[in-house]
Amino acid sequence: MDHPIFTPLGPWLGLERSLQALNRCAEDLAVTNEQGQRIRFVAPAGKENYELRIHRTGCVATRPDNLHDWFNALVWLAFPRTKARLNAMHAAEIPREGGRRGRLRDMLTIFDEGGALVVSDDAELAALVREMRWRDLFWTHRARLKREMRFVVVGHAVLEQALKPWPGITCKALFLSPQRSLDEQAAAWLAACGPQATPRDLAPLPVFGYPGWLPASDDSGFYADTRYFRAQRA
């Protein structure tokens, strides 16, 4: 786990794989849901909806031996406001949906599982991401990219996949400034989303195109593979 994609989780990567260890960290950091209840990682039990249980009790059903659940817990520690906001929005929408998940919750789920933060104040580089001009971004401007932009992955499913990295792993991203707390900015962006928000509000991002994240990225031909670095649709 010394790959740069895991850097935001660095303080907890060596944590003992147990609920007790997670809960000690959550208590030390005073992690809460948006109801103000302390987050506690507990064994799965009962049939209550996962998100509603977190919102009602602060209990996050977690199997510490399951990597998907483990990375989810670590993201709670690293980005508590973002995770609490995602949970509060799910909890608000579920009673209105009548059992059928709508576009807003689709977006929330996709971001929770596969979200990334594009952190930069360089508007031209950000435009290259939005326009899916991957060769320009990752190769032509790679030195500038490494200096002026970083990717922070917050989606726990992508973090699990990154244990066996390959260029097809794609996140859905939002754009933030390096000048302020990423956790606060991401939570505020989510809070500003209206009921008509959809997954299309998030930019696709082939995160393993970042220079140096895969050995193949040192070859310009790597970025010509349209299976992974797709052009923007007309």
Residue 229 resides in a domain: no
Residue with tokens 């209840």: 37
Query: 110 burial class (0-12, 13-18, 19+ CB within 10 angstroms)?
Result: middle
60 with 117, same domain: the answer is no
Q: Are 40 and 31 in contact (CB under 8 A)?
A: no
Residue 157 has what pLDDT?
98
44 with 72, same domain: the answer is yes
Q: Are 178 and 115 in contact (CB under 8 A)?
A: no
39 with 139, same domain: the answer is no
Residue 234 has what pLDDT?
55
68 with 160, same domain: the answer is no
128 with 202, same domain: the answer is yes
51 with 144, same domain: the answer is no
Residue with tokens 């923007």: 232
77 with 138, same domain: the answer is no
Residue 24 resides in a domain: yes
Residue 234 resides in a domain: no
114 with 96, same domain: the answer is no
Residue 231 resides in a domain: no
122 with 217, same domain: the answer is yes
Q: Are 228 and 165 in contact (CB under 8 A)?
A: no
Residue 198 resides in a domain: yes
Residue 230 resides in a domain: no
Q: How much of the chain is helix, strand and coil, in % rounded to 5?
A: 50, 10, 35
Which residue range is the domain that position 138 belongs to? 110-224
200 with 155, same domain: the answer is yes
Residue 99 has what pLDDT?
72
Nearest alpha carbon to residue 195 among 114, 119, 89? 89
CA distance 32 to 29: 9
pLDDT in tens, 127-161: 999 999 999 999 999 999 999 999 999 999 999 99
Residue 139 has what pLDDT?
97
CA 150 from chain centre, in angstroms, equals: 14
Q: How do 40-42 and 59-61 pair as beta strands?
A: parallel
Q: Measured at the alpha carbon of residue 70, what is the angle toward residues 79 and 115, in degrees to the nearest 5?
A: 45
Q: Number of folded domains in the chain?
A: 2
Structure tokens at 184: 């606060």
Q: Measured at the alpha carbon of residue 49, what is the angle toward residues 46 and 52, in degrees to the nearest 5?
A: 120
Structure tokens at 50: 């996962």
Write down the pTM of the prediction.
0.95
Low-confidence ranges of the chain (pLDDT < 50): none
